[in-house]
Chain A
Amino acid sequence: MGRLERSFVIVNSLGLHARPAAMVVQASNRFRCEIQFEKDGLQINAKSIMGVLTLAAARGASVLVICEGDDAEQAMAAIGKVFESGFGER
């Protein structure tokens, strides 16, 4: 049982738009732990695409990822990979 926090910077040119949002939500839903994203004081459930979309995170924006629960470590690793890949975009 743990709580992990890590910041990621959006690196792809189009930002966290619809397709990347679907990607991170899919990744988040593979884990049991609670996953929240926080940006500019707005905190949302990372398992909700509606929530992730409302972040409207552009290139260069920093998103804090908070995982809390049994598999927090695995979840953080998986989500980190998605962010760091620039969602497979440039």
Chain B
Amino acid sequence: MASTTLQGLPASPGIAVGRCWTVDRRRLRTPRRKVTEQEVETELDRLDVAIDLSVQQLDGVRAKFQASDGAEHLAIIDVHRAMLRDPSLVDEVRRLVRVERVNVEWAVKRAVRKIKGAFDADDEFFRERRSDVDYVGERIVKNLMGQGSDAAEMPPPGSIVVARDLSPADTALFFHDRRVAALVTDAGGVTSHTAIVARALEIPAVVGTGKASTSAERGDWLVVDGSHGLVVLNPSAAERAEYEAARVRQMEREAELTRLKDLPAETVDGVRLRMVGNIEFGEEVPGLLSHGGEGVGLYRTEFLFMGRSELPTEEDHYRDYRALLDAMGGRPVTVRTFDLGGDKLPSGQKDHSENPALGLRAVRYCLRHPDLFYAQLRAAVRAAAHGNLRIMFPMVSGVAEVRAAKWALAEAFEQVVAQGLPARMPPVGVMVELPSAAVVADRIAREVDFLSIGTNDLIQYAIGVDRQNMDVAYLYRPLHLAVLRMLKSVAEAARAAGISVSMCGEMAGEPLYTLVLLGLGLDELSMNGPSIPEVKRVIRGASAREGRELLDRILDLNTADDIEREVRAEMARRFPGLLEGGARVGPVSG
């Protein structure tokens, strides 16, 4: 039989090869009949018994989970538990039995339908809640009909479970002893409970395939590629072998990356860099730590301002920074002050100037709006008293702006102290992302405790190219000679002033550039958590000296093309496989 491939949604990454175990979750046929007046009380008693039983069953399922499985899916069970006793469900069922004299099974079905009507089907959140209500209703009806037991047959170890949809209880049963290799459902989105549980337990999963459960049969061979949302039905022996090999490679790579996690980012000639993360939400902290992040190099605070009608208060900022510092467990956290303006302003204001990229943005906007700026600064100096907080100002153009921002910080500090609140003056740094700041970095370096190079903006402003503009995006070249010269002079300026210099643009997390960055002599690289291990691997396999030699060589070249060719050739020679997409497991066949 020829293989077929179904495209679903990538719910949990990883590859699995195994035999299909379909789970039949066809809906029950709900009986319908009229009840007599004498039967009403008996029916209502049956309802109470069925609800009690359902609650007990969920408690039993909940007990199977370990706390380490993540709080999120325990929460789904709590939601179902609350729904089982929800007055809007129970009262409606009672009313239907009493007034319309229908049997309780049918009344449950009708009440569920009514509640679902209140949830908008176009919204993913509500779609999930509709399936929660369905699940709860189904469980009550099953118990009413004496079919509520979960003593389902268990799949053999290594099976791939395929179902129309899975309830959290199903998921718990199949997964609590880790015997299932992967999970495929017809329904669901990437935020469905199936997806959440699969990610928490690191089991590959594809959801939203539409028809996997009707296409595959028990015992069929299946391949699941959870990273790309692919399910291959009846793969050929060759395809199976290919995926099996990819799975093994991936496991080896993961093992290596895990091994790397606690090793320092140190070159063979003893140069030690700090690997830190760019984050926007506290939820990203576990992923950052699990990849070996040694701190937060860039905390984007703009998120605090979005989706709300009023500015965040000092307390909002303070609570947020404290929580992040706590979550990072004493590691340094670099808070970047408000970096919006221009086209993106809080609370729906809009800048209608011709050229927002060159307009009232970032620290310029902050200096013009002290209410916004001081709330953030006061919160930062307060939070700094309790943790390893550093503060960083974005988009400064020269020494005058650095001084203005520092003056505001000092004033905020004094205000807080005058109020008798605990405060500490945090280390102060600036982003070097305007060419003017790069050119006068030597002067700026005398005013601050650290520099952080924001390459994304620096490249755009230096070359005068908007990389969102498809007509000129090809000109966006991190290895443009002008960019390299600026990076070099910023790094030298920091060294001369005896302060640390880091990089927090995308360039920092791209292994292609790692050797060049080593040549520059940066102290810290800040990137998304998942990029850390690969970059660290390069650092640990290289010497700072060869980085400097490469940098010298490319600074003699003229065009970005020539420079990139040279860097690629060097990286391919020194780190074979690194640039061939080896960092991520791609689809192996067709």
Q: State the A residues within 8 Å of B (CB).
A: 11, 13, 17-19, 21-22, 25-26, 45, 47-51, 53-54, 56, 58-60, 86, 90
Selected contact of B72 from candidates A19, A26, A45, CB within 8 Å: A19
Within 8 A of A (CB), among B304-348: 307-310, 316, 319-320, 323-324
Give 6 closest A-B pairs by Cβ, nearest first.
A60-B308, A19-B75, A90-B282, A49-B82, A22-B78, A48-B88
User: B82–A90 contact, CB under 8 A?
Assistant: no
User: A18–B76 contact, CB under 8 A?
Assistant: yes
Closest to B303 in A: A13
Q: Take A11-B316, A21-B79, A22-B78 as given contacts and tell me if A50 and B88 are in contact as well, using a CB distance cutoff of 8 Å.
A: yes
User: B88–A56 contact, CB under 8 A?
Assistant: no
Closest to A47 in B: B87
Residue from B71, B82, B83, B133 having most chain A Cβ neighbours under 10 A: B82
Give complex CA distance A23, B565 in Å. Answer: 57
Q: Enumerate chain B residues within 8 angstroms of A56, measured Cβ to Cβ.
A: 123, 125-126
Residue from A21, A26, A48, A59 having most chain B Cβ neighbours under 10 A: A48
Minimum CB–CB distance for B171 against chain A, Å: 16
Give complex CA distance A19, B195 in Å. Answer: 16
User: A90–B129 contact, CB under 8 A?
Assistant: no
User: B79–A49 contact, CB under 8 A?
Assistant: yes
Interface 1/0s, chain B 66-84, versus A by CB < 8 A?
0000011001101101110
Is the CB of B381 closer than 8 A to any CB of chain A? Answer: no
User: A50–B115 contact, CB under 8 A?
Assistant: yes
Q: Take A53-B129, A59-B308, A60-B309 as given contacts and tell me if A18 and B79 are in contact as well, using a CB distance cutoff of 8 Å.
A: yes
Closest to A17 in B: B125
Is the CB of B281 closer than 8 A to any CB of chain A? Answer: yes
Minimum CB–CB distance for B120 against chain A, Å: 8
Closest to B120 in A: A56
Is the CB of B538 closer than 8 A to any CB of chain A? Answer: no
Q: Enumerate chain A residues within 8 angstroms of B323, measured Cβ to Cβ.
A: 90
Q: Take A48-B87, A60-B308 as given contacts and tell me if A53 and B283 are in contact as well, using a CB distance cutoff of 8 Å.
A: no
Selected contact of B307 from candidates A25, A48, A54, A58, CB within 8 Å: A58
Is the CB of B86 closer than 8 A to any CB of chain A? Answer: yes
Is the CB of B222 closer than 8 A to any CB of chain A? Answer: no
User: B88–A51 contact, CB under 8 A?
Assistant: yes
Give complex CA distance A62, B590 in Å. Answer: 51
Is the CB of B118 closer than 8 A to any CB of chain A? Answer: yes
User: A19–B88 contact, CB under 8 A?
Assistant: no
Selected contact of A48 from candidates B86, B132, B316, CB within 8 Å: B86
Closest to B125 in A: A17
Given A19-B76, A90-B283, 16 more pairs with CB closer than 8 A: A11-B319, A13-B281, A13-B303, A18-B128, A19-B71, A19-B75, A19-B79, A22-B78, A25-B82, A48-B87, A49-B79, A49-B86, A50-B88, A58-B307, A59-B308, A60-B309
Q: Name 24 interchain pairs, CB-CB below 8 A, sorted by A.
A: A11-B316, A13-B303, A18-B129, A18-B132, A19-B72, A19-B75, A21-B82, A22-B81, A25-B86, A26-B78, A45-B88, A47-B87, A49-B83, A50-B88, A50-B133, A53-B119, A53-B129, A56-B126, A60-B307, A86-B319, A90-B281, A90-B282, A90-B320, A90-B324
Closest to B115 in A: A50
User: B320–A50 contact, CB under 8 A?
Assistant: no
Q: Enumerate chain A residues within 8 angstroms of B82, measured Cβ to Cβ.
A: 21-22, 25-26, 49
Is the CB of B89 closer than 8 A to any CB of chain A? Answer: yes
Residue from A17, A48, A49, A56 having most chain B Cβ neighbours under 10 A: A49
User: A22–B309 contact, CB under 8 A?
Assistant: no
User: A54–B283 contact, CB under 8 A?
Assistant: no
Minimum CB–CB distance for B263 against chain A, Å: 30
Q: Enumerate chain B residues within 8 angstroms of A21, measured Cβ to Cβ.
A: 79, 82
Residue from B79, B119, B283, B309 having most chain A Cβ neighbours under 10 A: B79
User: B119–A54 contact, CB under 8 A?
Assistant: yes
User: B303–A45 contact, CB under 8 A?
Assistant: no
Q: Enumerate chain B residues within 8 angstroms of A22, measured Cβ to Cβ.
A: 75, 78-79, 81-82
Residue from A25, A51, A53 having most chain B Cβ neighbours under 10 A: A53
Q: Enumerate chain B residues within 8 angstroms of A51, measured Cβ to Cβ.
A: 88
Closest to A54 in B: B118
